[in-house]
Structure formats: C-alpha cells, structure tokens
Amino acid sequence: MIVLSMAPLPGELVAAFIRQTPGVPEFEVIAGHDMTDADLRDAAARADVILGDFTFRRSITAEIAAAARKVTLIQQPSVGYQHIDVEACTARRIRVANTAGANTESVAEHTVAWGLCLLKNMFYAHKATRQCRWEQMGVKPAELRGRVWGIVGFGRIGRAVASGSSHSRSGISCIMTSFARREPSRRGSAPNTGSWRTAERFGCRQPPCAVD
C-alpha cells in the first residue's frame, strides 16, 4: 500500500505515526508536500491512500482526484477540509474523512483563556511590565464570578465552552445562539429578555466559509 502524504512532515515521521495503530498492513509513504503540481498528480496516480495537508497550503483539486485512480480514501488530519474538492472526490468514489472533534477541548480552553485575558486586562499588564512599570492600580481587572458570557456558534466547540464555563467554580452564566437555528438558547441563570445586551464577554465560533 502506498500512502501519499501532503502534510509538511518527513515521510519517516508520518510512517511512525501510522505504525502506532496495530494491524496496519505494510505500506510506503511518499512525502508530497514540496512536490510540483505535476509531480503530485503522478504520485497520486500511484497512491492507494492520500493524507491531506493540515496547513491547507496544498489543495486536493479535481485534477488530483482525477489522477488518483487507485485511491479509495483521503484522510484529512484536521477538522477543516475546505482545501479538498469533495464533489470531485465523490464523483470518483473516493471517500473523504476528517478528524471532527479532535481539537474541541483545546480550542474551547483557548477561547476561555482569551476571555480571561480580556477580563483581567492582561495585554495592558504585559505591555506595562515589559516597560518596567508596575501598574497595580491601572490594570483594573474584573472578577469572573457572576458574569454573563455570550457564545455565538453552538457547535462542538461552543458547547464545550459553555459546559466548561458553567460547570466551573466561577459561577458565570452563558448565553448561546446557533447559526443553524437562528434563535438564542440559554444555559445557567442567564436572563432571556434582552440577553445579548446583558452579555459582558463573547466567544465567537464562526461557521465554515470560503477562503480565497
């Protein structure tokens, strides 16, 4: 079996990752991230499986899908797959899989961390400290307890942010809304009437969009 890797990693490292799964048949990894488009199409013609690029710099186009005559699976090692022509792959009966949910907790924690930075005015404090100033009275941090946190986008990450925030010892309330349903939902003790006007911090999870 031949695996064409479009990820920016050495082929030996990709092979080591794959071998961590027991029962994998013998395979060879072709490192294709730095190939020309023509060489990439030639490599796709030899491959049985394609591993996508998690940096999204190398796209899997309709031309590559057409060249990949033996390929039965394209595995994208990330949540996003906007760089893959899924329609062209479907037309060629090539299955496309991503790793949905793999980084949900990490991104949710990152969202909460940024919110805390804003609440505690950490950016101002960091800048002042680098300038050798101790702005003890100028930072003016706020307490988290009793706050209302607005969450725009109620997918996996939005739900993880709400769950982690509402179940923590901070005592904050969360207001969520879904892009799909276009209606607000509530968690905790957040008021329903005029809820978005009462939200003091927002975490935004945007829906998928086209990237130029």
Q: How far apart are CA 197 and CA 51, in angstroms?
A: 45
- Higher-confidence position of 22 and 186: 22
Answer yes or no: is pLDDT of 210 > 70.
Answer: no
Q: How far apart are CA 35 and CA 50, in angstroms?
A: 14
For residue 18, CA distances in Å to 22, 47, 53, 120, 130 come to 9, 16, 15, 43, 44
Answer yes or no: is pLDDT of 198 > 80.
Answer: no
Confidence of residue 111 (pLDDT cuts 50, 70, 90): confident
pLDDT attached to residue 147: 74
Mean pLDDT value of segment 76-101: 94
Q: Identify the burial level of 161 via C-beta atoms within 10 angstroms of its C-beta, where 0-12 means exposed, 13-18 middle and 19 or more buried.
A: buried
**List of domains in the chain:** 2-97 (3.40.50.720), 104-204 (3.40.50.720)
pLDDT for 151-168, tens place per residue?
877 788 888 888 766 555
- DSSP annotation string for 125-179: HHHHHHTT---TTTS-----TT-EEEEE--SHHHHHHHHHHHTSTT--EEEEE-T
Exposed e or buried b for every residue in 92-114, given b needs 16+ CB within 10 A? bebebebeeeeebeebbeebbee
Q: Of 44-53, 96-105, 115-124, 139-148, which one has max mean pLDDT? A: 44-53
pLDDT attached to residue 208: 46
Q: What mean pLDDT value characterizes the chain?
A: 81
Query: What 3-state class would DSSP assign to 81?
Result: coil
- Higher-confidence position of 8 and 169: 8
pLDDT for 5-43, tens place per residue?
999 999 999 999 999 999 999 999 999 999 999 999 999
pLDDT attached to residue 26: 94
The CA-CA-CA angle for residues 47, 51, 56, to 5°, reads 130
Write the DSSP symbol of residue 60: B
Residue 148 bridge partners (DSSP): 173
Residue among 41, 90, 32 at smallest CA distance from 64: 41
